[in-house]
Structures are given as C-alpha cells and as structure tokens.
Amino acid sequence: MAAADLGSGGGLPALPLALAWPGTRWLLIETIGRRAAFLQRAVSSLALADRMVVAHGRAEVAGRAAASRGAHDLVTSRGVGPPAVAAELGAPLLREGGVLIVSEPPGGHPDRWPAAGLAELGLGPASLVTAPAGTYVVIRGIAACPERFPRKAGMAAKRPLFDVPRETSRHPAG
C-alpha cells in the first residue's frame, strides 16, 4: 500500500502508522526545512528509509509530480489547513478508490466538508469518525482529480474552492 502524509511535521501520524503497517510505502511531505531534516533523521534511525521518502517541498509540487500524482491508496493530513486546503492538496495524490483522512477539531462538524466542493476534486462525500484518539474526516477518491488541481502554490488557501460556514468554522470551547 502506498501512502502520503501532508505536512508531516513531527511525523504524526505517518511514523507510527509505518511502524504498525510494515507493508506500506510512505511519502512524507514537509515544507519547513528543519522539520524535513528531523523527519529524515527519524526515518533513518527507525530503519524505515527503504519505504519512506521525505519530500522537502510543497504539496502542490508533489501533487503535480508524475511519480506521486494519483499514486496513493491513503493520504493523511493533520493540521495542514482548513478543509478546502486539505482537500485540494490531498486529492491529486489519491488514486481512484483511495482514502483521504484528515484530523478534525474535537467534535468535528460535517458541514465543514461540502459534498459539491469535494466532488469538484474527484472526492466523495465526507464521513465524520469520532474515536478515542480524536475526530477524523474520511473521504474516498471516486474519480481522478482534475488536472487543474492542485493550483499554484498557496492558491488553495488564498482562494479556497469552498468556504466553511461561519457557525462551523470554530469548534465550541470544551
């Protein structure tokens, strides 16, 4: 199984998942140099270099690269940005039938992931999953992501494909 992790940062969830699933190959995408260097050291010290690649760069670049576009069964994202950003950066990496899993704020809210906006990226409707370890959105790739995505660097955040309704943009203090 091929997997990618957007904004890998400190290696969560990719490093523990790679250790738990020895048959997986991972692409860890991180824009910040010191974090990418940490990931490279962690991958090496955990003896995962044969099946984990650290890409120091933008997810938009990985989403356009022939080797990674449409090549992953699983894409994970934890804190990479609001729903429209995570969806636009993750969709191009997914193969048809693959799954995008994104961490959500506690409690989550399904309205943050409008079906029409996801469909524009070749994604199916979002399912909210609440587990002891957190809240997640699970979205299946139902078609190839259109070639126009991802847009150029930073555009997903500057001009999101869809907006989160104001009343669901923040989770209530708990």
pLDDT tops 70 at residue 173: no
Reported as a pLDDT band with limits 50, 70 and 90, residue 110 is confident
Strands (E), 25-117: 25-30, 52-56, 72-77, 94-104
79 burial type by CB count under 10 A (0-12 exposed, 13-18 middle, 19+ buried): exposed
Could you read off the pLDDT of 117-153 as tens digits, one per residue? 999 999 999 999 998 889 999 999 999 999 999 999 9
Alpha-carbon distance of 168 to 171, in angstroms, equals 7
Question: In CATH, what number does 2-160 get?
Answer: 3.40.50.150
> Where along the chain do its domains lie?
2-160
3-state secondary structure of 102: strand
Alpha-carbon distance of 103 to 47, in angstroms, equals 27
